Amino acid sequence: MKKIAWKVVVAALVLSGCGTKGPPEGIQAVEGFQLPAYLGTWFEIARLDHPFERGLEQVRAEYSLNGDGSVRVVNTGYDSAKKKWKSAEGRARFAGAADVASLEVSFFGPFHGGYHVFALDPESYALVTGATREYLWLLAREPALPADLKSELLAKAVAAGFDVHALIWVEQKAVPAPLP
């Protein structure tokens, strides 16, 4: 029982850092957001370190629409130390207007974390943050990005106040992850 209570406390603390508030001060979520164009597979190119993805490589996210209008989120990654795939399923909903890329995501019941897309080409890339600058993900539709686009996105992240020197570059191999 103590182990379960500890996990709930840790999850609450981690997600309170993400928060369901809007994006960090000075960062604006994409307006004119169209959820259908965002659905599908996104590969994690880089991220700031956090406990719930620590040690994972080949990370990808699958977004699909649930019958109630919420978004099904399935994150999958390979733990090379344990030599096994890990997967987490959650649910996202808009934090406000459906044309603004600010969502609330829950993987743990009533606890929600902010998910704010602040740079987007729905066919190519997304820069995503939580409610603080401690969270940053660079996502792409393909397992790699051209060097010039990667540099452009890093410059956007720096301009938004992120420490890009702390990014973890996620290894994406040709071995496919199991489908969610």
The residue whose two tokens read 């999958």 is: 76
Task: Identify the pLDDT of residue 10.
Answer: 36
Mean pLDDT by 10 residues, the chain (180 residues): 36 42 93 98 96 93 96 95 93 96 90 94 98 97 96 98 97 66
Task: Identify the pLDDT of residue 179.
Answer: 55
Q: What is the CATH number of domain 2-169?
A: 2.40.128.20
Task: Identify the pLDDT of residue 20.
Answer: 52
User: What six digits make up the tokens of 66?
Assistant: 């649930």
Q: What is the pTM of this model?
A: 0.85
pLDDT digits (tens, 9 = 90+) for 12-27: 334 444 445 789 999 9
3-state secondary structure at position 113: strand
Task: Identify the pLDDT of residue 21.
Answer: 75
With beta carbons less than 8 A apart as the criterion, state whether 30 and 100 touch. yes
